[in-house]
Amino acid sequence: MGIMSFLRNRLGLIMVVVIGLALFAFIIGEVVHYGSSFMNGDRTTIGEVAGDKISYDDFNNKLEQNIRNFKQQSNQANLNPQMASYVQQTTWNQAISQIILQKQISKLGIAVGDLESISLVQGNNPSPQIVQAFTNRETGQFDRQQLLGFLQNINSAKADPTTKEQWATFVNQIIEGKKSEKYLSLVRNGLYVNSLEAKDDYEARNKIANFSYVNLDYASVPDNQVKLTEDDYNTYYNEHKNEFKNPEETRAFDYVVFNAAPSKADTAAVKEQINKLLDGFKTSKNDSLFVAINAATPAPLVYQKKGQLDPTLDSVMFNAAPGFVYGPYFTNGAYKIAKLIGAEVGPDSVKARHILINPATAGGVDKALAKADSLKKLIQGGKSFADLAKTNSIDGSAAKGGELGTFPRGSMVPVFEDAVFKGKKGDLKIVSSQFGVHLIEIEDQKGSSKVVKVAVVDKPLTPSSKTQSAAYAKAQSFLSKVSGGSFADAIKADKLQKQAADDVTASASAVTGLENARDVVKWAYGAKKGDVSNQVFELGTQYVVAQLEAIKPKGILTLDMVKKQIEPAVRNQVKAKQLEEKLNNALKGAAGLDKVAAQVGGKVTPVQNIVFANPIIPGIAQENKVVGAVFGSPLHKISKPIEGQNGVYVFEVDSFNNPPALNNALKDRQQIAQAALQRLDTDVFNVLKDKANVKDYRAKFF
């Protein structure tokens, strides 16, 4: 335990702040992607920001550090592809953010002085990251003594070098974050909302329109009656060109999957394996050893309360007698059998303190145990536990007299947990764990509930090598066909289902239908349009063959690239012309909306209490153009046809209800400014990012 105990319990929390972009807290939640040509850059450059190169070695070192921190914080030995991608993306965000903002900070001469740096860590108002990291779990309050104890340990000769390095990195992140905060404060101070803006916003939210309308829905014209021409596509594309701005280079590819899902024979084989273990499990005298030998994922045997077990077991084990064996049952992709080892009533939580002795420095485990026993006798003779902990414990809790606070089951290693939950208040216990020898005092126990200890043996249901070979052979056969022919024709001939992955970014680890698709994405970023993959990709139990359909560059996409995407909207625009003509004919000589409705076979629909700021027509949807036209129209005059999102409309405004005059615009100005401030940080970063001309070559390396 020692300093490593502190790391496990606290520094993991510290470093997750680093992973969560402590340096640039204002862009928390935004996932930043950038793209450029896969073939650009060189073999040592992973990206460029405003002309500054990011070397692969530097980036990879930071990535490895962040992965270690993330594993420590999340208590995971390995990361799945999605989590690995998340950590990589976060590291990339850190790298580009640092360059982008540092250039602005340097240009303006923003700095954090030595005294200010000290104040950020241990001043009267320390950084929020410091407060979060040194919050007492029991009280929920910032624990200054814990901080000072840690600083004393970290500056001592016995401090672990890795811990010191992590702490220095953390403090540097806080300082850099303070610089960023100062920069953003300068930008925020330039934000101003005038009285005219406040008045417009007030009226948009409070002026009410009451009107009636006749609409012809686009669905009233069958699709097969609309023939789209190139002019139709060009017209729509040119009117909406800015909507097709691609923020980064992406790929689109089609693919087919050959699944090696477990067969009936595979299922029967796993069931047979688990059934063969039943009798031995029932008669086993050493259940821990039986689990260790036979379980695919052996877990420590610890007492758990209701709600902590697998739901399948939770309903049976608390009403069973020790020795009861349940199963086989299927859950989470595995067949399992479970045995109730024991049941008892115990505390829900324990308050304890300990003295941790390092066997290596004590001269071995026996001498460490002997030292713990002598300390125990001193305490029983009246010596202060807290004083002995401060002078004899190597744990980070030593500065607090060995206090560990109050903790529930599952917080400590099994041997430590058994000692404190099975003992009673006031007991002094000595146990050995992987951290050293502990002298423990149970200070208090709270609550009482039944707990059970359950041993579980699992056998995952996975496809056999025979099943996998059969699926792979089908995929190879398909690949052979398309290598010299048509991808689409081969799919049709083999009656396969084609799947599509659109707008795939260079850093994507998953695409539609494929969770671990990194190898496919890397291939796509090295292929040319129309290329078929030169191999069968093995993605777990999926075998994939792909064809690159499109390379979408950064910037405004061409019509050909968005043609399929915009086809429904183009069709509606052509329908709108037909419906407008129909309404225009009905409007000729019409004395009112009733006459128009009768001419087109529609109806007049009245609506009340519509405001400009919420342009929704009840029963239809949001119709910005229609509601905008309403607020710009005179009373009691039938409008010309308006092309909306869902159809074409004509309307007549019955009345406007104006709100009371805005005599004091201060409150409205403050509200508008607050809303703008919430967007400002991200907007500022996006502007700087666009100007920085970020180039991302990660797809070549990961």
Res. 267 pLDDT band, cuts 50 70 90:
very high
Say if residues 265 and 252 touch (Cβ distance below 8 Å). no
Q: What is the pLDDT of residue 677?
A: 87
Share of the chain above pLDDT 70, in %: 94
Q: What is the mean pLDDT of the chain?
A: 88
Q: What's the mean pLDDT in 564-571?
A: 95
Say if residues 10 and 134 touch (Cβ distance below 8 Å). yes
CA dist 190 and 176 (Å) reads 22
Cis-peptide, bond into residue 606, ω within 30° of zero:
no
One-letter amino acid of 330:
F
Q: Answer yes or no: is pLDDT of 262 > 90.
A: yes
Q: What's the mean pLDDT in 237-261?
A: 92
Q: What's the mean pLDDT in 174-186?
A: 90
Q: Among 510, 486, 506, which residue's Cα sits nearest to residue 498?
A: 486
CA angle 546, 86, 527 (to 5 degrees): 25
Please write the tens of the pLDDT for every residue from 32-88. Answer: 233 333 344 467 899 999 889 999 999 998 898 888 888 877 777 788 777 888 888
Say if residues 527 and 487 touch (Cβ distance below 8 Å). no
Residue 528: other Cβ atoms inside 10 A: 7
- The set of residues, in sequence order, having a beta carbon less than 8 Å from that of 521 and lying 6+ positions away, is 251, 504, 506, 508, 509, 511, 699
Please write the tens of the pLDDT for every residue from 325-370. Answer: 999 999 999 999 999 999 989 899 999 999 999 998 889 999 999 9
Q: Answer yes or no: is pLDDT of 2 > 80.
A: no
Residue 297: other Cβ atoms inside 10 A: 13
Q: Answer yes or no: is pLDDT of 6 > 60.
A: no
Please write the tens of the pLDDT for every residue from 400-446. Answer: 899 999 999 888 888 999 899 999 999 999 999 999 999 999 999 99
Share of the chain above pLDDT 90, in %: 59
Q: What's the mean pLDDT in 237-246?
A: 93
Q: What is the pLDDT of residue 155?
A: 85
Q: Measured in Å, how far apart are the chain's first and last C-alpha atoms?
A: 35
Q: Answer yes or no: is pLDDT of 22 > 50.
A: no
Please write the tens of the pLDDT for every residue from 286-310. Answer: 999 999 999 999 988 888 888 889 8
- The β-bridge relationship of strands 250-259 and 245-246 is unpaired
- pTM attached to this predicted model: 0.62
Please write the tens of the pLDDT for every residue from 511-547. Answer: 888 878 989 999 999 899 999 999 999 998 899 999 9
Q: What is the pLDDT of residue 42?
A: 62
Please write the tens of the pLDDT for every residue from 358-409. Answer: 998 889 999 999 999 999 999 999 999 999 999 999 988 888 899 999 999 8
Q: Answer yes or no: is pLDDT of 131 > 60.
A: yes
Q: Among 38, 31, 81, which residue's Cα sits nearest to residue 514?
A: 81
Domains and CATH numbers, the chain: 2-189+691-700 (no CATH), 208-246+560-657 (no CATH), 250-261+464-553 (3.10.50.40), 264-346 (no CATH), 349-446 (3.10.50.40)
Q: Can you list the alpha helix ranges (DSSP code H) found in 7-155? A: 12-19, 56-74, 81-108, 114-122, 128-133, 144-154
